Amino acid sequence: MVDAHQTFVIIGAGLAGAKAAETLRAEGFTGRVILIGDELDHPYERPPLSKGFLTGSADRDSVFVQQPHWYADHDIELHLGQPVVHLDRAARTVRLGDGTALIYDKLLLATGSEPRRLDIPGTDLAGVHHLRRLAHAERLKHVLTSLGRENGHLVIAGAGWIGLEVAAAARGYGAEVTVVESAPTPLHTVLGPELGSVFTDLHTEHGVRFHFGARLTEITGQDGMVLAALTDDGEEHPAHDVLAAIGAAPRIALAEAAGLALAGPAAGGGIAVDTGLRTSDPDIFAAGDVANAEHPLLGGTLRVEHWANALNGGPAAARAMLGHEVSYDRVPYFFSDQYDLGMEFSGNAAPGSYDQVVCRGDVGKRQFIAFWLKDGRVLAGMNVNVWDVTEAIQHLIRSGQPVDPEALSDPKVPLGSLV
Ligand SMILES: Cc1cc2nc3c(=O)[nH]c(=O)nc-3n(C[C@H](O)[C@H](O)[C@H](O)COP(=O)(O)OP(=O)(O)OC[C@H]3O[C@@H](n4cnc5c(N)ncnc54)[C@H](O)[C@@H]3O)c2cc1C
């Protein structure tokens, strides 16, 4: 039973927003919970959109965070297909696209991120795609099916996680795939040059063509149809469709217009929050992709665009809204599946932050764990087709203690014995 003594409003009905709403009720909050999303679909998880849902192994129903009736059953007032267009901090109100004004006591911004657009001629052609939403994935699945049937060509701009996962899905349908990437290896900013080659080899073996060190400069077409993608080294790549997978930008417009403190681009952008996910306004919190949080364990601030950060950050923000003492110190965690390669990545090892990479296991067979170290301390670890080691890897990262690189590389030495 809801009493109206307090109203908590959540903007963004993605994973972070839905999990925050769920946590407010689980923690016994009896006030109004209003969850607002600009998409028409109920809150869903995005990882399947470039994996199981796109390949056809997972059906549409499996992507939703909760069954549609769950929200009403838990007295969550869900507004779908409704953008919040204005935040008035002085009046403590948010205004929806249809003019409705809602008063809040506490507010959570869980507005996520949106795909970066290619700023080149030809991006308005019908065959140029992005992948963020369920509707995008439905369309892309349809596109990949016909490309596969007709031996068509897909050009993917960007060899990041989404670009590579879509490349794998597209090869599964039988489409011809070229990936254009300005860096010298895939996933360059996450894995560095040392481990990127694992993914180059994997995809090359599956028939993907890579074009590294180049950028798209134009997409040519006729009558709305894509014909080719041109790169800045003068190459012309045949294309029937193009996927722009060049990263995402945090959706900060509301926060910015409301004068909340933001993180600068060099720090990863997003809405600046403290370790309790509180913004520069004590009644407004941010979580998920859009939040750039002080990290109590790793030091400095971090904006994390990963599923686990939305899954755990939404609930952490909800507890902070309820007045609990929160210190959000999760080690960043990410996973990916491509063909028969499954991997998990924990920690953070931006280029320049580490001085050594140590592997245990068989890199050639793609069954190994890679560790990124600085002064002998583990900053990050990636397990590839090796399972149930995330806890041990995160323990090494959390300990901050130096480890013996030789012992780290030896599969016979239990990870748990290293610190
Ligand atoms: C295709 C794809 C595959 C991915 N795969 C993985 C993976 O394998 N592993 C992994 O760790 N991560 C993966 N991610 C990343 C992960 O999905 C995101 O980190 C996660 O979705 C972030 O959740 P969020 O709730 O912060 O934001 P979002 O999921 O972006 O949700 C935010 C919601 O807020 C809405 N919104 C924004 N502004 C407004 C407004 N003003 N008014 C109303 N609504 C608004 C948005 O439309 C959106 O629905 C993937 C992402 C994509 C797109």
pLDDT, tens only, 22-41: 999 999 999 999 999 999 99
* Test site for ligand 1: of 34, 42, 46, most ligand atoms within 8 A of the Cβ: 46
Q: From CA 40, how far away is CA 262, in angstroms rounded?
A: 28
Cα distances (angstroms) measured from residue 262 to each of 90, 129, 251, 254: 19, 29, 11, 11
**Residue range 361-389: mean pLDDT, rounded:** 97
Query: 112 C-alpha to center of ligand 1: Å?
Result: 5
- The values of phi and psi at residue 205, to 5°, are -60, -30
Share of the chain above pLDDT 70, in %: 99
Which amino acid does the sequence have at 163?
G
Residues 99-154 have pLDDT tens digits of: 999 999 999 999 999 999 999 999 999 999 999 999 999 999 999 999 999 999 99
Considering Cα of 151, then 177, then 247, then 22, what sign does the dihedral take?
Answer: positive
Centroid of ligand 1 to alpha carbon of 338 (angstroms) = 20
| pLDDT tops 80 at residue 4 | no
Handedness of CA 216, 217, 220, 225 (dihedral sign): positive
pLDDT-derived band at 1, boundaries 50, 70, 90? low
Q: Is 12 in the pocket of ligand 1 (CB under 6 A)?
A: yes
In Å, what is the CA distance from 111 to each residue of 149, 195, 220, 319? 37, 32, 34, 18
- Our answer on whether the CB atom of 38 is closer than 6 Å to any ligand 1 atom is yes
Tokens of 120: 């080149």
The residues that bridge with 273 in the sheet, in sequence order, are: 293
C-alpha 1 to ligand 1 mean position (Å): 30
pLDDT of residue 299: 84
Beta carbon of 15 within 6 Å of any ligand 1 atom? yes
pLDDT, average across residues 45-64: 97
Query: 216-228: b or e for each residue (b if 16 or more CB lie within 10 Å)?
Result: bbbbebeeeebbb
CA–centroid distance, residue 399 to ligand 1 (Å): 30
Distance from residue 111's CA to the centre of ligand 1 (Å): 8
pLDDT of residue 5: 86
Quick check: helix, strand or coil at residue 107? strand
Residue 298 is predicted with a pLDDT of 87
Q: Which of 37, 36, 34, 26 lies closest to 8, judged by CA?
A: 34
Looking from the CA of residue 96, the nearest atom of ligand 1 is 42
Task: Output the CA 307–ligand 1 centroid distance in Å.
Answer: 8
Q: Rounded to the nearest 5°, which phi and psi values hold at 92?
A: 50, 50
Reported as a single tens digit per residue, the pLDDT across 316-353 is: 999 999 999 999 999 999 999 999 999 999 999 988 89
Band of residue 403 on the pLDDT scale cut at 50, 70, 90: very high
Neighbours of 105 (CB within 10 A): 14
Looking at the chain, the whole-number percentage of residues with pLDDT higher than 90 is 95
Q: What letter would DSSP give residue 88?
A: E
Question: How many angstroms does the Cα of residue 401 sit away from the middle of ligand 1?
Answer: 34
Ligand 1 pocket check for 308: Cβ under 6 Å: yes
Compute CA distances 376 → 329, 357, 400, 415, whole Å.
22, 10, 9, 15
pLDDT beyond 70 at 410: yes
For residue 193, the model assigns a pLDDT of: 86
Band (pLDDT 50/70/90 cuts) for residue 270 is very high
Of 207, 233, 237, residue with least CA distance to 219: 237
Average pLDDT, the chain: 97
For range 8-24, the mean pLDDT: 98
- Cβ–ligand 1 distance for 11 under 6 Å, the answer yes
The average pLDDT across 45-65 equals 97
What is the residue with the minimal CA distance to atom 52 of ligand 1?
46
* Ligand 1 centroid to residue 393 C-alpha, Å: 26
Q: Which atom of ligand 1 sits closest to the CA of residue 133?
A: 53
Angle at 321 between CA 105 and CA 272, to 5 degrees: 100
Q: How far apart are CA 176 and CA 287, in angstroms?
A: 38
Set out the domains of the chain in order of their start, with CATH numbers: 7-114+249-321 (3.50.50.60), 128-246 (3.50.50.60), 340-417 (3.30.390.30)
pLDDT score, position 2: 67
User: Is 301 close to ligand 1, i.e. is its CB under 6 Å away?
Assistant: no
Q: What six digits make up the tokens of 225?
A: 């149809």
Of 307, 337, 345, the residue with max ligand 1 atoms within 8 A of its CB, to mutate for a pocket test, comes to 307
**Which residue shows structure tokens 């949106």?**
114
Place of tokens 């990870």: 415
Tell which residue, 23, 14, 36, 110, has the closest CA to residue 315: 23
Q: How many CB atoms lie within 10 A of CB 37?
A: 25
Q: What are the phi and psi torsion angles at 332 (to 5°)?
A: -55, 140
Per-residue pLDDT tens digits for 189-246: 899 888 999 999 999 999 999 999 999 999 999 998 999 999 999 999 999 999 999 9
Q: Which atom of ligand 1 is nearest to the CA of 290?
A: 26
**Closest residue by CA, ligand 1 atom 38:** 111
Residue 408 region, left (φ>0) first, then alpha (ψ -120 to 50), else beta? alpha
Q: Is 25 exposed, middle or buried (0-12, 13-18, 19+ CB in 10 A)?
A: middle
- Listed in sequence order, the residues at least 6 apart from 285 whose beta carbon sits closer than 8 Å to its beta carbon are 106, 107, 108, 109, 273, 277, 278, 279, 317, 320, 321
β-pairing, 176-181 vs 209-212, is: parallel
Predicted pLDDT at 409? 98
pLDDT of residue 33: 98
What does the pLDDT average to over 63-85?
98
| Ligand 1 centroid to residue 122 C-alpha, Å | 26
Q: How far is the CA of 37 from the centre of ligand 1 (A)?
A: 11
Residue located nearest, by CA, to atom 27 of ligand 1? 112
